[in-house]
Amino acid sequence: MARVDLDVPYNERTAAQQRGARWDPERSCWFVPEHIDPSSLIGWSPASDIVNARAHHYYLLEGIQACERCGAQSRVHAIVLPTGHEVRLQGQDEGHEEWERSDEPSLLAFVTALAPSVAARIREETYSYRARQTYPVAYHYNHCEFCGSAFDEYALFATPGHGFDVLSESAAAAIHVTVVHSGFAGAADHFSYGVAFLDAMTRR
């Protein structure tokens, strides 16, 4: 595999180094060494302008939701970033950007991009959470495991008492949580901060 070079601004070099980036003095550039998961550094890779969220680890949630079309009970999935994840802020000045650390976990919805390592990890759990071409961007949707129709993202992520927006500990206990101990990088249009009853969900 080709070495992944990074585009690290001078004032972010310490943060990049802490995430495993190495400095190549001969070529005067930062790069991802072979033993480091590149997804944790993808925010600095030149082709990753769209990435707006990153974390050292993440959670995959699995719940059950009735399909509106066929009525079957299908598994549905979601990504939660832990406390300490970072979200990219676009500044007022052209080209200026910075990463802001969150002191709350966040549930991602309307996901537009996932680092290859994250997408591969999700494939181990399900093929039903995947990108679907919609105008103007392809969002990731949960699809019914039985009839293939897409679940409404608002119903799953932003309707209290439905999907992943649970209102009680007992409802939370029906959601299973897998902790993924590798870096997250991706892009989402919607972040729900302060995930309710995350601690009451069932750890795998």
Q: Is 64 in the site for Zn ion (CB under 5 A)?
A: no
Residue whose CB is less far from Zn ion, 49 or 68:
68
Residue whose CB is less far from Zn ion, 81 or 156:
156
Tokens of 24: 């190549």
Residue whose CB is less far from Zn ion, 61 or 144:
144
Q: Report the distance separating Cα 141 and Cα 57, nearest Å.
A: 22
Site for Zn ion in 147-166 (CB under 5 A): 147
Asked whether the beta carbons of 64 and 76 are under 8 A apart, the reply is: yes
Site for Zn ion in 160-199 (CB under 5 A): none
Q: Tell me the closest approach of the beta carbon of residue 21 to Zn ion, in angstroms.
A: 44
Q: Identify the residue among 80, 144, 150, 172 touching Zn ion (CB under 5 A).
A: 144
Tokens of 63: 């719940």
Q: Is 66 in the site for Zn ion (CB under 5 A)?
A: no
Q: Is 146 in the site for Zn ion (CB under 5 A)?
A: yes
Residue whose CB is less far from Zn ion, 147 or 174:
147
Q: Identify the residue among 4, 60, 67, 113 touching Zn ion (CB under 5 A).
A: 67
Q: Tell me the closest approach of the beta carbon of residue 149 to Zn ion, in angstroms.
A: 5
Tokens of 45: 């890779």
Residues 6+ apart with CB under 8 A from 5: 29, 30, 31, 45, 46
Q: Report the distance separating Cα 163 and Cα 198, nearest Å.
A: 13
CB atoms within 10 A of CB 20: 15
Three-class DSSP category at 69: coil
Residue whose CB is less far from Zn ion, 13 or 130:
130
